[in-house]
Amino acid sequence: MAQKLAFKVADISLAEWGRKEIDLAENEMPGLMALRRKYGPSQPLKGARIAGCLHMTIQTAVLIETLTALGAEVQWSSCNIFSTQDHAAAAIAKTGVPVYAWKGETDEEYLWCIDQTIVFPDGKPLNMILDDGGDLTNLVHEKYTQYLDGIKGISEETTTGVHNLYRMMREGKLKTPAFNVNDSVTKSKFDNLYGCRESLLDGIKRATDVMIAGKVACVAGYGDVGKGCAQSLKSFGARVLVTEVDPINALQASMEGFEVTTMDEACKEAQIFVTTTGCKDIIRAEHFGHMRDDSIVCNIGHFDCEIQVAWLNENASEKINIKPQVSRGTIQEALTCQAILGRIKLCILSPLESYRVCYPYPPHLHMKIINSV
């Protein structure tokens, strides 16, 4: 059996740069720093072997070093093929923590990276899971069932992963304790609401450099993520339309000054579309035909089922790559649809860097923007 790599990152020479940014991020994450001061001496996580599958960003680096400061052994992969900040991964790998993550992984490499976090260098398996989206949880339940009895628990970071856990529980397939981080107040407000409010426009502007003011934007869904996105677009001068099936959320949107409409109507008017629902087929083939030229279609979430990407792939007559992970595709002779990010599956945080908030749990924005290529 081949010896396991100690780590695999894009460029270990980026570690010094990553360390400087980690030092800055520590000031923005006082909750984690307080945990280090209070519990570091007692080492409450001693004996924990934590496998993490979470965006390998600067803020996640602060989390990883908090876990190790409290006594845990940690191995890490990213939950997304495009979200890794390579300097953050290098900085953590430099400390001796096994990190398997780099920006631009293939789907096969992504699964390989997760697989490397299962067994630790001493031959002992993981006994705790820190997951974002459920891929690590599913891998252990499907491929490494021999380790399930030794796992103390799973923490799940995002809505998609929480839905996955509830589904597994209903089907009798969840074999370890698990707790829902996503629905905690600090996570749902700081990440879903305030985090997305900061990062949505950062991602769009890094990818396209378009002016938001004066444009019409459509936000599908008015939960915490939708609220943050709508506020962000409005603050940049866009006129925001909201589509929402929940009557209370729709009423909130109306009372907060947004026009509530349907996607059938919004597709004819908006120039920027952001889906935030976590549901399926929100923007469909029939909507693309009504969109204005150079429309930007975005999904802010963990997976891409809200937009019918397969139809876009099949019907784009011309595809032009503008820069890494930013493409522009012509759908009809008179209609061009801009797309942010060059891949469909698991493409979070690519054009943007990340956001920093005074948040006691690691910020890890789910910024995924669907492409049309």
Annotated binding-site members for substrate: 57, 132, 157, 187, 191
Question: 255: helix, coil or strand?
Answer: helix
Edge to edge, the sheet with strand 295-299 lists 259-261, 239-243, 216-220, 272-275, 295-299, 335-340, 326-332, 318-323
Residues that constitute the known binding site for NAD(+): 158-160, 223-228, 244, 249, 300-302
Tokens of 287: 């909507």
> How far is the C-alpha of 173 from the C-alpha of 178, rounded, in Å?
12
Question: 365: helix, coil or strand?
Answer: coil
Closest CA to 66 of 36, 42, 44: 36
Report DSSP state, residue 234. H
Task: Give me the torsion for CA of 355, 70, 189, 24, rounded to 10°.
Answer: -20
Report DSSP state, residue 267. T
Orientation of helix 58-69 relative to helix 86-94, angle to 10° = 20
Say how many C-beta atoms besides its own lie within 10 A of residue 248's C-beta: 9
Phi-psi region of 337 (alpha: psi -120 to 50; beta: other; left: phi over 0): beta
Read off the amino acid at residue 85. Q
Sort 44 into a burial class: Cβ within 10 Å, 0-12 / 13-18 / 19+: middle
Say how many C-beta atoms besides its own lie within 10 A of residue 166's C-beta: 14
The residue count for the chain: 373
Residues that constitute the known binding site: 57, 132, 157-160, 187, 191, 223-228, 244, 249, 300-302
Q: Are 200 and 367 in contact (CB under 8 A)?
A: yes
> How far is the C-alpha of 30 from the C-alpha of 190, rounded, in Å?
14
Sort 9 into a burial class: Cβ within 10 Å, 0-12 / 13-18 / 19+: buried
Question: 341: helix, coil or strand?
Answer: coil
